[in-house]
Structure 1
Amino acid sequence: MKRFFYFLLMALSAMACSDIGMNSDDVQSLDGGQVGVGGSTARFAIHGDHLYVVNNTSLNVFDISDVRDPNFQTTTDIGWGIETIFGYKENLFIGSQSGMFIYSINEDGTPEFLSNYTHQTACDPVIANDQFAYVTIRSGETCGTGLFEANQLITIDITDLTNPIAVDQQQMINPRGLCFFKDDLFVAEGNNGLKKFSLADPSKPQLMEFYDDIAANDMIALQNTMIITRDEGIYQFGCDANDEIYLLSPIQ
């Protein structure tokens, strides 16, 4: 088990240091080190000396102060259908098939439950900033939506982390991952394409572009490049002077 987590952490470090069009501004720095930036459908996140990993029912914490000897610290039962985790500042935003859970991170690295936002059963990636969390819910596959279609982009006011409130819902095709890039919000629509939303009014994202020729399942947004995963592989996109994205290369 320790060997597995050592290689996981080394893979994160390799992503940060590899030559795939990144520069030093494209990498987050934590406690003097460098780690890769995760996408919205990731099942693990790093904060300080701790690695947070979700499985179908729980949140697991590992002490990685010595990356060659990671140690299991705690586990917290959350519920069922847990899918994704997104870390922002001192908080963790966890997406599940039933809703979004918010946990704060204590000084010793242990998570503390703050609140949850419940939606109808559907697949649920989430990202967040200081004011809002953005959630996509998707029907089909193993997302358990039953008789009801649930393809939406939901904006949630998290000014009070203990009381998240949905302030906007927009119908989508079949959304997957999402990310912030160049002050905008990008939402993947699978093989249907990639949507770009303005956050001039962050409480109500406005659709600006629909790149129906750019299939996307999830994105990793760096300062000057965007890494897009899709069914046939991983691709690197740049951004021109007009903030339009363009293909740089596939990542072999």
Structure 2
Amino acid sequence: MAQLTSVPGDVAANVATAVDAVSRADGASLLVLPELFLTGYTLPPAVIALDDPCLAPLQEAAAAAGAVVLAGAAIAGAERPTLTTLAFGGTAPQRVYDKQHLSGGEQECFAAGEAGTVLDLAGDRIALATCYDTCFPEHGRAAADAGAVLYAASIAYYAGSEHRRDLYTRARALDNGFFVAVGALVGPCGEGEFCGGAAIHDPEGRTLVAVPDGEQGVVIADLELDLVAATRAAHPMLAERRALGPARSVRL
């Protein structure tokens, strides 16, 4: 997981930073970069096309490393751009997920995604989320229902929101008995100051590794994915949930 500072609108500079993060990940099969990292978190956003030639060095670096790299960008759309996760490392960059829950000023700038995404990475199912998505238990639950063993989130939280940031992502791990891995924006970007939060949490919500707040860095963990089934057996909330009707009103 990478915790990085983005330069607003300078795709080439951000791609160079991402390429360096790939080298620092050293053998990892998956690397998650922050929300809107490639174009910078600004509203209104800087927008690029999927075939922007500036993206080529990241595609080449990911392919050479044998890694899948997930990176956020504002991608041009028919009416509004989308707040998109791109996947690098295959035959070409792919648009794999559009953020479904838009927060605050994002609602005026972007079109919301309509569907979740679960990637198949060497037979392991990895669900994708972007920042505000992780605030909704239903989003994580849909990922678990789709067979995900890892919930990979790209985030950009403003400084001062560290408590909520960590609570949301650790709760999604505990709710669903899967790993949660977070790539995070840190430092100044446009008019905002971002607080980081790159970390990997186990299926009971314990933090395995994390980049310290305020710093740039990459953290790596080898995930024992058999722990997902073992945790769900020990804490069977996922299997034992019931379809509940509306609450009844009782006058006392």
Band the TM-score falls in, shorter-chain normalisation: 0.3 to 0.5
Q: Whose relative contact order is higher, 1 or 2, with alpha carbons under 8 Å and at least 6 apart?
A: 2
Higher share of residues assigned helix: 2
Q: TM-score, normalised by structure 2?
A: 0.37
Q: TM-score, normalised by structure 1?
A: 0.37
